[in-house]
């Protein structure tokens, strides 16, 4: 997946403010435009954070309804996309907590994945892992390791590596400081590398 | 301008992540590239970072969205939006006005709230010890000597109540106009702080006489007194008058203030 172009906050276009304003005033076409423009991003991010198609679809719908309800509060402090990212993250985090309260631990989805896709391949070698294993298998292992990360670390890695967001944008989306973003990325990468080492 | 000095491996390692995330300054990038060209160890760390990012994207690519489900997203979102009530205040108010039943409910709720507030305020007001209707106020009034509920006896220091000048003529109706030969009549009453007769009883030979009491009470209701005073303040007092050989007028008496045939 090609990372999305990083969005500079100063690039927030007038047209974006205009469409947000029209959407806030109940213009159905403007709302449709918001969905059309951002639905792929929202659905991808939801899927990457939840690892479940149905949950991702459901969450995407909830996200857009939240966007419509609260778009009158969008002040253009960030790009509309970054603002929507933040809503996705909050929804996904709440859903994670909801599942956790119902004792649906992350390991359950992992087991389901193993059942669906078979057992793990042999562990990676200590050096040059991409040369040691097929890229597809490696990707599968990293993906599973990603799912085991704490939500805050996982969301930081997903936003950086898969969505190409800058630290400042990630910080806005997660509601934390730049330093916290760097820290979470460092810990997440360390954990992922450790997961890929041979047992 | 600061000269470009080659950084050590420790410094470079801290830059590698920032470089990987496109967050490193150009100057440091130049220094980093120079270092990496000559340091296999640091290149290995950079390659690990790169391969990790590649693997993540590879893994994400394997979990592509369900195109069929994705195609439903926009229509379902718009359908759910259409079903949602308009939350803007203007529309909410219009909805309420259109819905008479809700309007009645709101009106009823407001009325009930207002009534509750009034009851509460009255309760709080009555409960205040300073209020004469409160329990404390009632107790205070009833136990105060000289009150209407607890009249004094005529003792030293209490001035006698006197019939007010303007009702003296009416008081004269209770007088021995025609001796009836009824001995041992006594009138007991309370002259209140306001100067009225209350609790009137006529005792005949030691027994209350209801008929006489009613007749006297009717006449007495028109009589005003200057109330008795104790320490200068008006007080209610018990009085007993002996009305020996008294006649009670049972028929209307000509108005003495406008005597018939007077000039």
> Could you please report the per-residue DSSP string of B185-221?
EEEEEEE-TTS-EEEEEEEETTEE-HHHHHHHHHHHT
| A contact residues 22-61, partner B, Cβ 8 Å cutoff | 26, 28, 31-32, 35-36, 39-40, 43-44, 47-48, 51, 53-54, 56-57, 60-61
Residue of A nearest to B84 (CA): A65
**Residue in B23, B48, B57 nearest the CB of A193:** B48
Residue of B nearest to A30 (CA): B78
Fold matches, A11-104 and A105-199: no
What was the ipTM of the complex prediction?
0.71
Q: What is the pLDDT of residue B139?
A: 78
User: What residues of chain A lie within 8 A of the CB of B58, using their CB?
Assistant: 135-136, 138-139, 142
For chain A, the residue count is 199
CA distance A154 to chain B (A): 11
CB contact under 8 A, B62 and A44: no
Q: Report the mean per-residue pLDDT for chain A.
A: 79
Topology adopted by domain B162-248: TolA/TonB C-terminal domain (3.30.2420)
**Residue in A53, A54, A146 nearest the CB of B59:** A146
Residue B79 DSSP label:
H
User: Taking residues A15-19, what's their average pLDDT?
Assistant: 82
| % of chain B at pLDDT higher than 70 | 80
Q: What does the pLDDT look like over B76-108, one tens digit per residue? A: 888 888 877 666 666 667 767 777 777 888 899
CB contact under 8 A, B62 and A136: yes
The residue extents of the domains of chain A are 11-104, 105-199
- Spatial contact of B223 and B171, defined as CB atoms under 8 Å apart: yes
Of B59, B61, B80, the C-alpha closest to A58 is B80
CA distance B99 to chain A (A): 22
CA distance A13 to chain B (A): 23
**Rg (alpha carbons) of chain A, rounded to whole number:** 18
* pLDDT greater than 90 at residue B60: no
Residue of B nearest to A156 (CA): B21
Topology adopted by domain A105-199: Arc Repressor Mutant, subunit A (1.10.10)
Q: What does the pLDDT look like over A83-137, one tens digit per residue? A: 999 999 999 998 888 777 765 554 445 455 445 555 444 444 444 545 545 667 7
Of B178, B185, B192, B191, the C-alpha closest to B206 is B185
* pLDDT greater than 50 at residue B261: no
Which of A28, A40, A42, A53 to substitute to test the interface with B, most B CBs within 10 Å? A53
Per-residue tokens: B237 = 């007092």
Which of A65, A69, A130, A178 to substitute to test the interface with B, most B CBs within 10 Å? A130
The residue extents of the domains of chain B are 9-62, 85-143, 162-248
- Domain A11-104 sits in CATH at 1.10.1740.10
Per-residue tokens: B245 = 């050989």
Quote the CA–CA distance of A152 and B113 in Å, as a whole number. 48
CA distance A33 to chain B (A): 10
Span of A34-43, A82-91, B221-230 with lowest mean pLDDT: B221-230
**Residue in A36, A43, A182 nearest the CB of B65:** A43
| % of chain A at pLDDT higher than 70 | 75
Per-residue tokens: B216 = 């006297």
Q: What does the pLDDT look like over A60-87, one tens digit per residue? A: 999 999 999 888 888 777 888 899 999 9
User: What residues of chain A lie within 8 A of the CB of B72, using their CB?
Assistant: 57
Interface membership of A162 toward B (CB under 8 Å): yes
Helices marked H in B84-209: 89-98, 100-127, 135-143, 168-171
């Amino acid at each position: 997946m090609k990372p999305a172009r990083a969005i500079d906050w100063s690039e927030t276009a007038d047209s974006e403010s205009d469409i947000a304003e029209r959407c806030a005033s109940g213009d159905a076409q403007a709302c449709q435009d918001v969905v059309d423009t951002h639905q792929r991003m929202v659905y991808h991010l939801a899927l990457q954070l939840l690892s479940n198609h149905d949950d991702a679809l459901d969450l995407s719908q909830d996200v857009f309804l939240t966007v419509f309800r609260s778009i009158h509060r969008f002040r253009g402090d960030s790009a509309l996309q970054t603002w929507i990212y933040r809503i996705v993250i909050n929804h996904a985090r709440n859903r994670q907590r909801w599942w956790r309260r119902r004792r649906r631990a992350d390991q359950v989805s992992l087991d389901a994945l193993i059942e669906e896709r078979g057992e793990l391949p042999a562990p990676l070698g200590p050096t040059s892992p991409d040369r040691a294993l097929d890229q597809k298998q490696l990707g599968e292992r990293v993906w599973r390791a990603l799912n085991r990360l704490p939500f805050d670390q996982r969301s930081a890695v997903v936003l950086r590596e898969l969505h190409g967001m800058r630290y400042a944008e990630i910080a806005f989306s997660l509601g934390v400081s730049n330093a916290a973003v760097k820290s979470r990325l460092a810990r997440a990468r360390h954990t992922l590398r450790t997961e890929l080492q041979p047992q | 301008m600061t000269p470009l000095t080659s950084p050590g491996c420790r410094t470079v390692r801290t830059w590698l992540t920032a470089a990987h995330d496109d967050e490193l300054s150009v100057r440091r990038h130049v220094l980093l590239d120079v270092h990496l060209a000559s340091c296999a160890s640091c290149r290995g760390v950079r390659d690990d970072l790169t391969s990790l990012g590649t693997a993540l994207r590879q893994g994400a690519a394997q979990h592509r969205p369900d195109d069929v489900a994705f195609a439903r997203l926009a229509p379902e979102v718009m359908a759910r939006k259409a079903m949602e009530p308009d939350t803007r205040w203007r529309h909410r108010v219009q909805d309420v006005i259109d819905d008479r039943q809700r309007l009645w409910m709101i009106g009823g709720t407001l009325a009930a709230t207002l009534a509750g507030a009034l009851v509460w305020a009255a309760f709080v007001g009555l409960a205040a010890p300073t209020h004469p209707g409160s329990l404390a106020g009632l107790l205070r009034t009833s136990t105060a000597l000289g009150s209407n509920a607890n009249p004094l006896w005529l003792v030293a220091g209490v001035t006698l109540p006197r019939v007010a000048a303007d009702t003296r003529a009416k008081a004269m109706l209770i007088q021995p106009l025609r001796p009836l030969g009824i001995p041992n009549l006594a009138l007991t009453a309370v002259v209140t702080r306001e100067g009225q007769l209350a609790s009137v009883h006529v005792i005949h030979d030691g027994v209350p006489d209801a008929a006489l009491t009613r007749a006297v009470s009717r006449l007495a209701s028109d009589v005003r007194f200057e109330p008795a005073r104790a320490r200068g303040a008006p007080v209610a007092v018990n009085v007993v008058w002996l009305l020996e050989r008294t006649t009670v007028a049972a028929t209307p008496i000509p108005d003495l203030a406008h005597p018939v045939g007077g000039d």
